[in-house]
Amino acid sequence: MKDRLRRRQREDYSYAVIAYHKKDKRLNGLNVKEAAKLRYGKDDLDHQISLIFEVETNGGASAVFHGMHEDDACAFLRHPHTMFASDSSVRAFKVGVPHPRGYGNAARFLARYTRDQKQLKIEEVIRKLTSLPARTFRLNGRGELRPGFAADLVVFDPAKIQDNATFKEPHQYATGFRLVLVNGKIVVENDKHNAVGPGQVIRRGK
C-alpha cells in the first residue's frame, strides 16, 4: 500500500473520505488520516493503513476520493462527445456523508459550469444531459421533445438553478426547478417532490 501511494505521488490517505461505515458512524465524514487519529490517537501512515484494514474487516465502507483537478474536469466537460451523468447510487436521506453528486449533479453543470463559469452554452449542456446519452445508449423514445416520445421534462429557471449539496453537508437538494415530469406525470413542483413514482426500467434498444 505504501508503494502504491508513492507511485501515485501521495504522502498519505487523507484524500480518501469515509462516506458511510455502519460499524462506527463516528468515522463518517472523516478522511482516513483524521479517522486514524480518532480511532488510535495517532495518524501516521501505518495507523492509517491499520484503519483501512480494520474497516474492511468490519464490513467495509463507502468512500469519497478527492483525486480530480478542476482544470482537467473542465477540459473533459467541453469535449463534444462528453455526456453528463453520475455514478452515485440511491441514498437514504440524512444517512452517512456521501458524495454531493448524488443530490446536485445535473444542477451543478447548469449552475457552476454554464451560468457562472460560462464553460459551455446552456443548449450544449442540456444536449449532454438528455439527447446525447439517450442516443448513445439507444434509449429509444427518450431524451428529446418529439411526438411519440416519453414526456420526460424539466422546467427550470437558469438564473436560480443551484446545486446546494457540499462535501460537509451533502444531503441538500438542488433548487430552481419549477416542474419535473416523468412519463408525463409531475413529480416535482417548485422544488418539492410529491412522492409520485411514475418511473420505469428503461432497456437499451427498446
pLDDT along the chain (206 residues), means of 10: 89 93 91 96 96 90 86 92 89 88 94 96 97 96 96 97 94 97 97 94 88
- How far is 52 from 46, CA to CA, in rounded Å? 10
For 2-65, the fitting CATH number among 3.30.1490, 2.60.120, 1.10.20, 1.10.3470 is 3.30.1490
- The pLDDT, as a whole number, for residue 91 is 80
In the chain, residues under CATH classification 3.30.1490 are: 2-65
pTM attached to this predicted model: 0.76
- The pLDDT, as a whole number, for residue 34 is 96
